[in-house]
């Protein structure tokens, strides 16, 4: 074993760690040296959003010690940042194994550092924690969750006083403070229990009241109250609020997928508890078919991502991708507000650079400003903060099944998204058509945009290195053509530079640095490459578009665009 790894292992065996942890280390020494090396070869990185990793013993794992040390560093930064002020935080957690344990450790360490803690009494959706930070005028917060990752994972999302995840300079400054905590002995583990207050139902009521206020057409819901809704929380926190929110909106025919209704950290009916995955939505799809429902919705374990199923133009149930869901939601919030007479002249919407450009076209058609930011809702929140008092934020979103409606929270919110998507379905049903018909009408009006995504996973110690080498290859030697179309523009967000590869002209990109590359082809195709910030993956996003003359041409043009994406994937040798 590498000497540096062995030194870390011995430090845990000799240090102030519990006997159960030491016994697990000794067991791995004899039974699985490779797994032991992976558990200790590095420190689990406190990234710009917090921690995420496989649970287990070791410096590269999510466990009570890595959570405690990270919290001590974050607590130190909070106290340094607000000298002489009362520092308050909110702490919440999802349904994952150990999430409650980790949340209580976070609360205890924060309390021991003199910080007042609002600890949710049981699991709650991530967006409610963001809302509670703002509502209680806190300086920060933590949610213990690994979002949609498999059951082996857990994580730790850190928030600032605006209810958003950390952005510069706080993200890097917190990392600096966390890195200073080199021993479990540096952690104040207890002694501040008097600083912890449990919160729950009273905050639920305020959150539900806020979400209900987002409704644009409650009178249409009253007419279509029996819209047949099927909802699955996929064993997560959505069950705590989604049924109550739908009831508050006035929907009376909500059918819960019982097999996935109970919070369960083992996610017993799925492998990936992610509404992006067809398998995760399959039980819900079956129920929707059996009931001949109007709409199917699913949320991930911490209820910040939403998936939607509807019937297509042939009456078959299909799952919308994140871009299609965003197109429907953005358009509804622009169109319905205008029809209702509540749109403002300074309305704005925000999306990320890898989200469909169809939204830009819809915003332009509605004479509404549309801003593009880096991937992640913290950047959407940062833009809201920048424009506060000057422009009116309406909706934001990204292709990874995330929407944020209204400015009372500052993270993606699947709970409010479920309610508004159901309202959209009711709005279209009142007009005698489906959400799918509406989507096709939008394609006819603005152009048919089709997107797809491929994630390539590189696990283990060499995974990150392989991903870095892939990105460097694309950056230093960009392809001259892809699928028979010339690459005309390279956008390098790490170098913050755009370049016309035909003329050599270059320009500055006015966004923070991010390891993202985008290739714009002569035929209007956009391809993005981005390493994941939370998993050992590199993601490739594909966006193609073509005119759609009429709804009757939908299947034909869809086939052509799908073939084009497949050609791009083959050309880039990504499968």
Sequence-distant (6+) residues with CB within 8 A of 502 are 486, 488
Beta bridge partners of 154: 53
pLDDT at 49: 78
36-53 burial: b if 16+ Cβ within 10 Å, else e: bbbbbbebbebebbbbbb
In CATH, the architecture of 207-446 is 3-Layer(aba) Sandwich (3.40)
Which residue in this structure is represented by tokens 């130190």? 76
Q: How far apart are CA 533 and CA 422, in angstroms?
A: 31
pLDDT at 458: 83
- CB-count exposure of residue 559 (10 Å: 0-12, 13-18, 19+): exposed
Q: What is the DSSP string of 329-361?
A: HHHHHHHHHHHHT---TTEEEEEETTS-THHHH
Which residue in this structure is represented by tokens 């919070």? 263
Reading the block at residue 360, the tokens are 């830009």
Q: How far apart are CA 202 and CA 136, in angstroms?
A: 12
pLDDT at 534: 60
pLDDT at 206: 98
Question: Closest Cα to residue 65, out of 50, 88, 91, 43?
Answer: 43
Beta bridge partners of 52: 155
Q: Which part of the chain has CATH 3.30.310?
A: 450-571
> What is 42-199's CATH superfamily?
Alpha-D-Glucose-1,6-Bisphosphate, subunit A, domain 3 (3.40.120.10)
pLDDT at 535: 67
pLDDT at 465: 84
Q: How far apart are CA 411 and CA 207, in angstroms?
A: 14
Question: Closest Cα to residue 133, out of 58, 184, 199?
Answer: 199
Between β-strands 485-492 and 497-500, what pairing exists: parallel, antiparallel or unpaired?
antiparallel
Is 147 among the catalytic positions?
yes
pLDDT at 533: 65
Query: Three-state SS string across 71-127, please?
Result: HHHHHHHHHHHCCCCCCEEEEEECCCCCHHHHHHHHHHHHHHCCCEEEEECCCCCHH
Active-site option among 130, 147, 215, 416: 147
Q: What is the CATH number of domain 450-571?
A: 3.30.310
Q: What is the DSSP string of 139-193?
A: SEEEEE--TTS-TTEEEEEEEETTSSBP-TTHHHHHHHHHHH--SGGGS--SS-G
Q: How far apart are CA 262 and CA 392, in angstroms?
A: 38
pLDDT at 161: 97
Q: How far apart are CA 572 and CA 134, in angstroms?
A: 45
Task: Give the CA count within 13 Å in the CB-facing half-sphere of 156.
Answer: 32
Q: Which part of the chain has CATH 3.40.120.10?
A: 42-199, 207-446
Low-confidence ranges of the chain (pLDDT < 70): 460-461, 533-535
Q: Find the distance separating the first CA and the last CA of the chain, reported in whole Å.
A: 34
pLDDT at 463: 80
Q: How far apart are CA 178 and CA 156, in angstroms?
A: 13
pLDDT at 273: 96
Q: How far apart are CA 342 and CA 344, in angstroms?
A: 6
Q: pLDDT tens digits for 139-182?
A: 999 999 999 889 999 999 999 999 999 999 999 999 999 999 99
**Which contacts (CB < 8 Å, 24+ apart) does range 464-471 have?**
464/536, 467/531, 467/536, 467/537, 467/538, 468/531, 470/529, 470/538, 471/515, 471/517, 471/529, 471/531, 471/538
pLDDT at 431: 96
pLDDT at 46: 84
Reading the block at residue 486, the tokens are 């010339």
Q: How far apart are CA 128 and CA 324, in angstroms?
A: 25
Which residue in this structure is represented by tokens 């913050």? 496
């Amino acid at each position: 074993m590498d000497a540096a790894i062995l030194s870390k292992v011995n430090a845990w065996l000799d240090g102030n760690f519990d006997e159960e942890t030491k016994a697990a280390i000794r067991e791995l020494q004899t039974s699985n040296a490779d797994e032991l090396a992976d558990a200790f070869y590095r420190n689990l990185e406190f990234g710009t959003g917090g921690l995420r990793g496989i649970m287990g013993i070791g410096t590269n794992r999510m466990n009570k010690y890595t959570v405690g040390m990270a919290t001590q560093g974050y607590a130190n930064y909070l106290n340094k940042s607000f000298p002489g002020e009362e520092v308050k935080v909110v702490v919440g957690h999802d349904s994952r194994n150990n999430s409650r344990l980790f949340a209580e450790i976070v609360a205890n360490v924060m309390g021991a550092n003199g910080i007042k803690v609002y600890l949710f009494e049981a699991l709650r959706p991530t967006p409610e924690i963001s809302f509670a930070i703002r509502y209680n005028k806190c300086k920060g917060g933590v949610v213990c969750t690994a979002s949609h990752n498999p059951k082996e994972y857990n994580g730790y999302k850190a928030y600032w006083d605006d209810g958003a995840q950390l952005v510069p300079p706080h993200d890097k400054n917190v990392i600096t403070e966390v890195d200073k905590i080199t021993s479990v002995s540096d952690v104040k583990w207890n002694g501040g229990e008097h600083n912890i207050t449990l919160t729950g139902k009273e905050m639920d009521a305020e959150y539900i009241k806020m979400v209900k206020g987002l409704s644009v057409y409650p009178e249409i819901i009253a007419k279509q109250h029996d819209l047949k809704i099927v909802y699955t929380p996929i064993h997560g926190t959505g069950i705590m609020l989604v049924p109550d929110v739908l009831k508050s909106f006035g929907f009376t025919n909500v059918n819960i997928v019982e097999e996935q209704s109970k919070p369960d950290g083992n996610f017993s009916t799925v492998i990936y508890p992610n509404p992006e995955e067809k398998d995760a939505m399959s039980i819900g799809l079956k129920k929707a078919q059996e009931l001949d429902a109007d709409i199917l919705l699913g949320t991930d374990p911490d209820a910040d991502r939403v998936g939607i199923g509807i019937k297509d133009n042939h009456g078959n149930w299909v799952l919308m991708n994140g871009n299609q869901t965003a197109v429907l939601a953005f358009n509804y919030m622009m169109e319905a507000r205008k029809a209702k007479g509540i749109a403002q002249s300074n309305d704005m919407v925000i999306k990320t650079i890898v989200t469909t450009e169809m939204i830009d076209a819809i915003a332009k058609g509605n004479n509404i400003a549309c801003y593009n930011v880096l991937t992640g809702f913290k950047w959407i929140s940062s833009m809201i903060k920048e424009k506060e008092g000057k422009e009116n934020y309406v909706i934001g979103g990204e292709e990874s099944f995330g929407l944020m409606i209204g400015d009372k929270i500052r993270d993606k919110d699947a709970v409010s998204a479920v309610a508004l998507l159901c309202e959209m379905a009711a709005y279209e049903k009142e007009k005698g058509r489906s959400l799918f018909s509406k989507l096709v009408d939008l394609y006819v009006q603005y152009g048919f945009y089709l997107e797809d995504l491929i994630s390539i996973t590189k696990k283990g110690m060499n995974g990150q290195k392989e991903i870095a080498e892939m990105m460097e290859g694309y950056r230093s030697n960009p392809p001259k053509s892809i699928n028979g179309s010339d690459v005309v523009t390279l956008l390098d967000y790490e170098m913050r530079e755009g370049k016309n590869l035909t003329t050599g002209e270059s320009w500055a990109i006015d966004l923070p640095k991010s390891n993202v590359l985008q290739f714009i082809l002569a035929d209007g195709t956009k391809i993005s490459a981005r390493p994941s910030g939370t998993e050992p993956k590199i993601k490739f996003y594909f966006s193609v578009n073509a005119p759609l003359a009429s709804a009757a041409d939908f299947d034909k043009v869809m086939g052509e665009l799908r073939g084009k994406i497949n050609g791009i994937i083959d050309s880039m040798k990504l499968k």
